[in-house]
Every structure is written in C-alpha cells, then in structure tokens.
Amino acid sequence: MSYEVLARKYRPINFDEVVGQDHVVKALINSIDQEKIHQAYIFSGTRGVGKTTIARILAKCLNCDSSPKPTSKPCNKCSNTKEITAGRSVDFLEIDAASNTQVEKIRELIETVEYKPAKGRFKIYLIDEVHMLSTASFNALLKTLEEPPPHVIFIFATTNPEKIPKTVQSRCLQLNLKTVNEELLSIHLKKVLDSEGISFDEESINLISNSASGSVRDALTLLDQAIAHGNGLLNQEDVKNLLGTIDDSLLYDLIKSVIDGNGKEVFDILHNIEELNPEYDVILRDIISILHKISLQQIVEGHDSDSIIELASLVDKEFCQLLYEIALNAYSKFSVHPSPKEALEICLLRMLTFNPLQKLTDNNEVQKENEIEKKNLNKSEKNLSERVVNKNQSEKKPILTSNNEWIIFFNSLEMSPFTRNYFGNMSFNSFKDNNLILNVDPKISDIPENIFLEFKSIVRDALSEEIKISTIISDVIDSPLSKKANEETKKQEEANLSINDDIDIQNFIKKFDGKIKSNTIKPSE
C-alpha cells in the first residue's frame, strides 16, 4: 500500500479541524445555519492555508444527506460526503483554471449548469486558481454568475485576487484566508506527531513552524521531510541540517560584531557559519528577524531572550533601523543575485561601511583615522583648547572647571554623530578626582553602551588619563549643541537685519517690486 503524505492524511474533513481561519469558518457556519447561502464565493489567500479544503467542506455541508437541509456539521458518512472527500462526486466539479484557460472550456461548463444535480441538493463548481482564466473566459461567466439557477453554487479559489476582474468580484462573496501564525502551526504539528506516535523536541517543531511561513501544507510537507531525514524521529540538529538553519547564538555574535564595527570578527564568524553548510537566504532572513526583535525591545521591552536584551542595550535605535533597512533591501534582491554567498557578504559589508560609530579596539580605544580641523575658534578659545587636548604636553593639567570650558573642550573632540547628539545635549556639573559628572535632561533615554564607551575613550585619550564619567538628572541650562544652535540663530537674525538695513538692496527690491525668500538669506562665513 502506498504511503499517504501527512498533508493529505490530516486534511480537515469538517470546519472544527480547520487551523487558523476562524473568521472565515464562522462566517460560513452562520450563513449555513441561517440558510443564507451565497450563489458564488471567492476564497483568497497564499498557498497551503486551506482554500480548497474549506471549499470541499462547504460542498459537504450543502449536500450532506444526514440532514433535511444544509448543515454546518457534515456527517462524513453518507455517500455524498464520502464521494466529495474522495473527489469523485458528480455534483461537485473541481476545475483547474491553469490548464483550462480557454473560453471554450468555460462555455462547455456553462452548458451543464442548467442540468439539476444527480444526487445532492446543489451542483457546486470549484474553480481553482481562477485568476488564470482568460478575459474572454471571465466575460463568458458573467451572466451565469450573476443569475445562476437556484441549484448552482460557484466557488473560486485564488492566490492572486487582484487579477480577478472587478465585474466578477462584485458578483461574489469574497473571504480572505490569513497565513497561520507559528503558535497555531506548532500546536497542529504536535497533534499530528502524537497521532503518528513520533517522538520530537520543542525546538524542532518551532523550526519547522517558522520555516513554513504561515502555510499549513508547507508545515506538514516539511514535517514529512524531517521525519524521513531523522529516520522516524525528530531532533533539533537533524531539522537544522534539513532546513539549513543554524544556532541563533552565532547570529547574535555576528550582529554584535557588526554593531562594534569589527569587520575581521564579522567574517570570522561568517566563516564558522559557512562550515555548517547553511542556506544563505535563511541566514539573512534570521538576521532581519533578530533586528526586528531588537527594535521592539528598545521600545516596548520585556523580551525573554537575554541576548536580545543585551544587543538592544548596545545599539543605537537609529543605527538599528539602518541595519534593518540594509538587510531587508539585500533580501529583496537576493533571488536575482548570481551568488547567494556574495549577496550575504555584501550586505554585511554595507552594514560595516555605514556604521556611524567609531570603531573600538579591545582596549576600547578609538581608532582615529583623520584629524578634523578646528574652525571658527577665536584666539583665546584656541589657546584653551590646546591646553585641554594636547596629550604630548603632560606637564599641563587639563582645565575643566566651568560649563564654558566644557563646551570648548567638547567642540574640540572628534566623535560619531550619534555620540555627539547624546553628550552634546548635556551640561557640565563637576570634574573632581578624575570623575567627570554631566547634567542630563530626564527626557534623554538611556545611553547605549557602545556610545558611552566611545565617548569615554575619546575623553580619556584627550585628557591623557583614566577617567570616570557619570550623569545625573538635572536641568540642562547651556549645552554645547544648544549654545551652537543659539549662536547660529543669532547669526541668522543678524544676516536678516543686515539685508533689511541695506538701502541699496531695499531700493532694488522696491524698484522691481520683488521680494527675498527668507530661507535664502545665509550668514556670512
């Protein structure tokens, strides 16, 4: 006797067994119980979510002999329901639109509509992948679809409802089937395995549910493969080898190295991953999923994974979103790339290239590649800056005793944009015993660890001594960035006044009845 695959063996035979489509099932049950059965239905949804299965159950409900009228609970024992289940009912016609696109086939179907059902109450036509029909075929259907005989019901199943003409859609009751979430898939797979008497571990089920992407049929097909691969058993390692997935801990380390900007470590970890013979698109998909979890943890918190919590504390929110966009963009183009491995590598290279944080060595020292010229400092500010920053003149003690000196000192430092945005909005509190204390506004969120380490390294390097940096919640009266903004505003106001006070310019404007756009006035350098 030939083996019956799990997807067919455990196909639902009544509405109670349908997985994850409660909204559709409820609508159909209510319409049957109230005897308000529509003349035509459209079941739309991705592959393997139950379109054809629900259509067959509906057909059994309408033609079940165990009840004097349509019932929402078919007996599955009478000849009508058994024949529909077996696919040999003369009153339930399944048509594959992909192989019957010609208008002649539809015309032949329409000619049979007038004949009453042989055994059941209704003659039911199920057209699968109906969007594949030609325009002429749809047009031929319109009149019959709008006013079918009372004994005829049409059911259309499609994965692409947008391709169905609006004239057809308006004549049908459309029910959209959803993808099934991982939790429901896992529960369903466990029931199947218990029925089959097959031992399994929780991680194996989770891996299969995740890889099925919301399709019940795909989940059962993968389960069949995993059972064969594991010689009748399910264990985590065999399923990972089958699906091409790897241990998440390696991906956590990979993402942490990307955040740190450590390119060598990133590709060392990638080399270790490659030894496991993974599917590269699966790796990238898992990276996207992890970045999504990190983003959620940064906003709503409460994740149960310590690794996710740690990564969320290390990476800046904006940078995390940038990583997510880079990964998602790479994944969208993965199928057209000639080499999956190169596609993943270039994605990681882009993440490293666009990392706005300065790279830290093992000693948390900033690797400075370029010296930024100090501009727009007056003579006294330059002298003070030299005393503070110059590391070679060890006999000169750093001067940080006031907020003004803190602002000059801060402006002399080279750092990443993210670090500047965080610490540039703080004001000076005190600097005693190598402990720099800064005032921080309560609205500022917690500082990511990577940014804090970068700033600490920069300040230590500038002051030529080990220091401690701490913050206290307080009113920030005058910070480096706010002072800079105020100065720019003042310069802009002076520029506007100089234009308004210039007699020649005002006479020119008056002569030609013109005006100056305010956003085009720029302060002189």
241-256 tens-digit pLDDT: 888 777 788 899 999 9
Asked if the domains at 6-176 and 379-478 fall in one CATH topology, the answer is no
Residue 394: the pLDDT is: 44
Tell me how crowded residue 353 is: count the other CB atoms within 10 A of its CB. Answer: 11
Token look-up 């699968």 returns 128
Report the candidate in 404, 405, 408, 387 with the shortest Cα–Cα distance to residue 396: 387
Q: How confident is the model at residue 445 (pLDDT cuts 50, 70, 90)?
A: low
Residue 357: the pLDDT is: 58
Sheet holding 152-158: strands in order across? 92-96, 123-128, 152-158, 40-44, 173-176
Residue 105: the pLDDT is: 84
Res. 363: pLDDT tops 60: no
Strands annotated E in 427-480: 427-432, 435-440, 468-473
Mean pLDDT in the chain?
Answer: 84
Residues pairing with 158 in the sheet: 44
pTM: 0.63
62-89 per-position pLDDT tens digit: 999 888 899 999 999 999 999 999 888 9
Report the candidate in 117, 167, 163, 121 with the shortest Cα–Cα distance to residue 141: 167
First to last CA, the chain: 89
Residues pairing with 437 in the sheet: 430, 470
- CA angle (508, 512, 515) in 5-degree steps: 75
Query: What average pLDDT does this structure show over 403-409?
Result: 87
> What's the half-sphere exposure (Cβ side, CA atoms, 13 Å) at 408?
21
- For 156, phi then psi, to 5°, come to -110, 130
Q: Give the three-state DSSP class for 436.
A: strand
Residue, of 474 and 290, whose pLDDT is higher: 290
What is the length of the chain? Answer: 525
Res. 457: pLDDT tops 60: yes
Report the candidate in 289, 290, 246 with the shortest Cα–Cα distance to residue 271: 246
Q: How confident is the model at residue 300 (pLDDT cuts 50, 70, 90)?
A: confident
Token look-up 């208008």 returns 103
Report the candidate in 299, 343, 345 with the shortest Cα–Cα distance to residue 320: 299
Domain ranges for the chain, please list them.
Answer: 6-176, 182-243, 248-353, 379-478, 482-520
Place domain 6-176 in its CATH homologous superfamily: P-loop containing nucleotide triphosphate hydrolases (3.40.50.300)
The lowest-confidence range among 279-283, 295-299, 373-377, 407-411 is 373-377
State the Cα–Cα distance between residues 456 and 473, nearest whole angstrom.
19
Q: Tokens representing 304?
A: 């149960």
> How far is residue 331 CA from its own chain's centroid?
11
Query: What average pLDDT does this structure show over 153-174?
Result: 92
Query: What average pLDDT does this structure show over 342-350?
Result: 92
State the Cα–Cα distance between residues 319 and 256, nearest whole angstrom.
13
CA distances from residue 123 to 113, 126, 215, 332, 391 in whole angstroms, order as listed: 8, 10, 30, 44, 91
CB of 95 within 8 A of CB of 141?
no
CB of 156 within 8 A of CB of 164?
yes
Residue 525: the pLDDT is: 61
Token look-up 């005006």 returns 515
State the Cα–Cα distance between residues 192 and 418, nearest whole angstrom.
51
Report the candidate in 313, 401, 399, 417 with the shortest Cα–Cα distance to residue 357: 417
- How is domain 182-243 classified at the CATH fold level? Helicase, Ruva Protein; domain 3 (1.10.8)
The DSSP code for 461 is H
Q: Give the three-state DSSP class for 96.
A: strand
The matching CATH number, chosen from 3.40.50, 1.10.3470, 3.30.1490, 3.30.300, for 379-478 is: 3.30.300
Report the candidate in 414, 397, 374, 508 with the shortest Cα–Cα distance to residue 463: 397
Residue, of 51 and 504, whose pLDDT is higher: 51
Q: What is the largest CA-CA distance in the chain?
A: 107
Report the candidate in 302, 310, 206 with the shortest Cα–Cα distance to residue 249: 310
The lowest-confidence range among 92-106, 228-242, 266-280, 502-516 is 502-516
For the chain, what is the total number of helices (H) and then of strands (E)? 23, 8
Q: What does DSSP say about strands 92-96 and 40-44: parallel, antiparallel, or unpaired?
A: unpaired
Query: What average pLDDT does this structure show over 331-346?
Result: 90
Residue 416: the pLDDT is: 83
> Class for domain 248-353, per CATH?
mainly alpha
CB of 71 within 8 A of CB of 82?
no
Q: How confident is the model at residue 358 (pLDDT cuts 50, 70, 90)?
A: very low
Res. 366: pLDDT tops 50: no
Residue 204: is it exposed, middle or buried by C-beta count within 10 angstroms (0-12/13-18/19+)? buried
Query: What average pLDDT does this structure show over 343-365?
Result: 71
Tell me how crowded residue 461 is: count the other CB atoms within 10 A of its CB. Answer: 16
- Residue 229 host element (H or E): helix 216-229
Res. 111: pLDDT tops 60: yes
Residue 8: is it exposed, middle or buried by C-beta count within 10 angstroms (0-12/13-18/19+)? exposed
Q: How confident is the model at residue 399 (pLDDT cuts 50, 70, 90)?
A: low
Q: Tokens representing 316?
A: 């800046």
- For 294, phi then psi, to 5°, come to -65, -45
